Amino acid sequence: MTPLQENIQTAVTRISDYLTKNHTASSWQLKVMFRLSSSVLYLALGALQDQGKITLEADGINYNVTWGQKPAEAVAAAPVALKEDM
Q: Look at residue 63 in the predicted model and tell me its pLDDT.
A: 96
Domain ranges of the chain: 3-67
* pLDDT at position 77 over 90: no
Half-sphere exposure of 11 (CA within 13 A, CB side): 26
Is residue 1 within 8 A of residue 44, CB to CB? The reply is no
* pLDDT at position 10 over 60: yes
pTM over 0.85: no
State the CATH class of domain 3-67.
mainly alpha
Question: pLDDT digits over 46-76, tens only?
Answer: 999 999 999 999 999 999 999 987 655 545 5
Q: Look at residue 69 in the predicted model and tell me its pLDDT.
A: 73
Confidence of residue 85 (pLDDT cuts 50, 70, 90): low
